[in-house]
Amino acid sequence: MQDNNPASGALSRRSFLKNSTLAAAAATVSFPAILHAQNKLTLNAVIIGVGGRGSGAGKNFLDAAKQAGVEAKIVGVADLFPDAAANGTKHFGLPADKCFSGFDSYVKALDLPGVNYAILASPPGFRPAHFKAAIAAGKHVFTEKPVAVDGPGCAIMYAAGEEAKKKGLKVAAGTQRRHHPGYIETIKRIQDGAIGDVTDTRAYWVNGGPIWHRGNKGDTEMERQVRNWYHYIWLCGDHCVEQHVHNIDICNWVVGAHPVKAWGMGARQQLGDKAGEIWDNFAIEFEYASGVRMHSYCGQIKRDFSSISEAIVGSKGTSNPAGQIRPKDGAPWRYRGENVDPYQQEHVDLINAIAKNTELNEVEQVTNSTLTAIMGREAAYSGSVVEWDDMKSSTYKYGPELLYTDASKLTWGDHRILMPPMPGSYSIFGDRPSVAERKV
């Protein structure tokens, strides 16, 4: 992938995170350091959502536990579709009666005897329901990002995150840059003043596109939407939420806050008449309470420029927070260290917190970044300035009502009525309430 951003190397997210030379920073515990403390710990995990990411996260979990000297097993899986649930047998050797399918499959998996670790990797629209159920069942959780697609979903996440704290449950999120030692060390230096006061941030997820499309297959509208989940707002949150949340999270981390307002634009430019409603490019500007701005660009359309990166501007220099600092005066600094796979390290850090009963609850930070992305999306959809408090208090639900009350009772006849936010064709909200009305 070509990368024309001078603040980053020509590397994709996964290749950079996995192949760059890194060393575990002080905030990251290495595998040998947790071996003795955890040698009596047994982890019994279930995976909820066993597609490519869920299967990959299951392998990351097993590899992390093996290197840590911890006994760990995948004891059950859950997915809406039987063919995906069968990955439990294919990838983890599970018997068929431990591979649950259907809308209530997550409940059955969480009810298996001895389960104490849940991996959540279903489409993001289901994340709040699955997370709430896992915490209610007393499980430690690894949750993929983003963690919601709208304000009411974020409200469920915030509340369940507080419940996890009360129960002493540990939660890690799939914002793996938070577990990436190059980012950890660089952002610490930024916050310690290496480039002076932060004045501006930039976030990019611009790649060559187009967004993958699985066709329009299924016996019901609900099935067709879920099988092609990336193309429906109630399931994925749109591109600026589902993927770009990674880069947004870094800017929030650097600034140490979430933005208070956003405005922007975007379009459904190259998806044409393919089934779905999401846009394929966004340009959004966020403002923090301090006055610092985040310039956010994301898209999956064919073009020459591409970059998956972040850049930070300070009063005394600039930084690529993945591992570079360029002061105006003095020699540039680059992070050089031992390689650590952050996809595995996020499970290591969670295992370590469980074993030593140390604090780890990433719910607020990942929900803040998710809601930031949602705020930007709504600003682009509406053409209005959208404020944080509007989004956090919003009661507008993109998904079917049962998704927010009891997702186990959903049926294949349920789905969201499509109201694509197509600029120029009709009112951007169609018959949806305005942003102001959503506060009611």
pLDDT digits (tens, 9 = 90+) for 363-381: 999 999 999 999 999 999 8
Residues 144 and 291 in one domain: no
Neighbours of 432 (CB within 10 A): 16
Calculate the average pLDDT of the chain.
88
Confidence bin at 1 (pLDDT 50/70/90): very low
Q: Is the pLDDT of residue 7 over 70?
A: no
Residues 265 and 292 in one domain: yes
Asked whether residue 31 is domain-assigned, the answer is yes
Q: Is the pLDDT of residue 190 over 90?
A: yes
Residues 105 and 245 in one domain: no
Of the candidate ranges 196-200, 244-248, 276-280, the one whose mean pLDDT is the lowest: 276-280
Asked whether residue 7 is domain-assigned, the answer is no
**Which residue type, as a one-letter code, is found at position 354?**
I
Q: Cα separation of 307 and 385, whole Å?
A: 26
What pLDDT is recorded for position 420? 53
Strand partners, 24: none
Task: Please confirm whether the linkage preceding 210 is cis (ω < 30° from 0).
Answer: yes
Asked whether residue 419 is domain-assigned, the answer is no
Nearest in space to 40 (alpha carbons), one of 69, 61, 10 = 69
pLDDT for 413-431, tens place per residue? 998 877 655 443 333 344 4
What pLDDT is recorded for position 68? 85
Residue 32's contacts (CB-CB under 8 Å, 6 or more residues apart) are none
Integer CA distances (angstroms), 134 to 123, 138, 157, 167, 354, in order = 16, 6, 12, 12, 15
Residues 381 and 241 in one domain: yes
Residues 295 and 162 in one domain: no
CATH number at residue 223: 3.30.360.10
Q: Cα separation of 434 and 287, whole Å?
A: 21
Residues 163 and 196 in one domain: no
Asked whether residue 316 is domain-assigned, the answer is yes
Residues 65 and 127 in one domain: yes
Q: Is the pLDDT of residue 103 over 70?
A: yes
What pLDDT is recorded for position 421? 59
Residues 160 and 225 in one domain: no
Average pLDDT of 284-294? 98
The boundaries of the domain holding residue 40 are: 25-177+343-361
* Share above pLDDT 70 across residues of the chain, in percent, rounded to a whole number: 86
Asked whether residue 1 is domain-assigned, the answer is no
Residues 395 and 246 in one domain: yes
Q: How far is CA 207 from the centre of its chain?
A: 18
Helices (H), 82-150: 82-85, 87-92, 105-110, 127-136
pLDDT for 146-159, tens place per residue? 999 999 999 999 99
pTM above 0.95, yes or no: no
pLDDT for 332-369, tens place per residue? 999 998 888 999 999 999 999 999 999 999 999 999 99
Confidence bin at 211 (pLDDT 50/70/90): confident
pLDDT for 23-44, tens place per residue? 333 333 333 333 344 458 899 9
Taking only Cα atoms into account, the Rg of the chain, rounded to an integer number of angstroms, comes to 21
Q: Is the pLDDT of residue 439 over 70?
A: no
Asked whether residue 130 is domain-assigned, the answer is yes
C-alpha torsion sign, points 273, 278, 282, 285? positive
Residues 64 and 137 in one domain: yes
Strand ranges for 134-260 from DSSP E: 140-143, 171-173, 198-207
Q: Is the pLDDT of residue 13 over 70?
A: no
Concatenated DSSP letters of 389-437: HHHHT----SS-THHHH-GGG--TT--PPP----TTTS-TTTTSPPTTG
Which contacts qualify for 221-229: CB closer than 8 Å, 24 or more apart?
221/415, 222/410, 222/411, 222/412, 222/413, 222/414, 222/415, 223/412, 224/275, 225/415, 225/416, 226/80, 226/123, 227/81, 228/275, 228/276, 229/123, 229/125
Residues 217 and 73 in one domain: no
CATH number at residue 56: 3.40.50.720
Residues 171 and 185 in one domain: no
Pairing mode, strands 293-300 and 198-207: parallel
> In the chain, how many domains are there?
2
Asked whether residue 192 is domain-assigned, the answer is yes
Question: Which residue bears the tokens 């018959």?
Answer: 431
Asked whether residue 33 is domain-assigned, the answer is yes
> By the 8 A CB rule, do 285 and 296 touch?
yes
Q: Is the pLDDT of residue 56 over 90?
A: yes
